Amino acid sequence: MKKIRVRYFALVGERRGVQTDPYETEAATARQLLHEIELNKKIPLTTNISKAMVNGKYVEWDEPIHDGDLVTLLSPFSGG
């Protein structure tokens, strides 16, 4: 298991605003991580409407995830 931190930005349900949680995963890539979180935390994000950052850098969904990473899952705000 890799121990990472996941930073949620503007997600739905109970998770809104900015929130950073410790998280354990076997996901190899950002895409797998998103799918995993979508399944087990019921966050309705898909790769086509959101973006990932790893350790402060925007990445493609196939970016590998390593132990100790900070992964930000971001769905831009629509409010105005």
Partner 1 sequence: MPPGIQDRYARHEKLDFIGAEGQRRIGASTVLVVGCGSLGCAQAALLARAGVGRLLLADRDVVRPANLPTQLLYNEADVKERAPKAEAAASRLRAANSEIAVEPLAGEVSAANIEALAARADLVMDATDNFETRFLLNDAAVKAGKPWIYGGVLGTDGMVMAVGPGKGPCLRCLLEMPAPENRLPPPDVFGVLNAAAAWVAALQAAQALKALARGAADWGRMHTLDIRNGSVTAAEVPRDPACPCCGRHEFKFLKPA
The number of beta carbons lying within 10 Å of the beta carbon of residue 46 is: 10
Closest C-alpha among 44, 42, 8, 45 to residue 23: 8
16-24, 25-33, 34-42, 62-70 -> range binding partner 1 (CB under 8 A) = 16-24
User: Quick one: which of 22, 24, 40, 78 contacts partner 1 (CB under 8 A)?
Assistant: 78
Closest C-alpha among 27, 10, 13 to residue 74: 10
Structure tokens at 72: 């930000």
Site for partner 1 in 29-68 (CB under 8 A): 44-45, 47-51, 53, 56-58
In the complex, which residues of this chain contact partner 1 (CB under 8 A)? Answer: 9-12, 16-18, 44-45, 47-51, 53, 56-58, 74-80
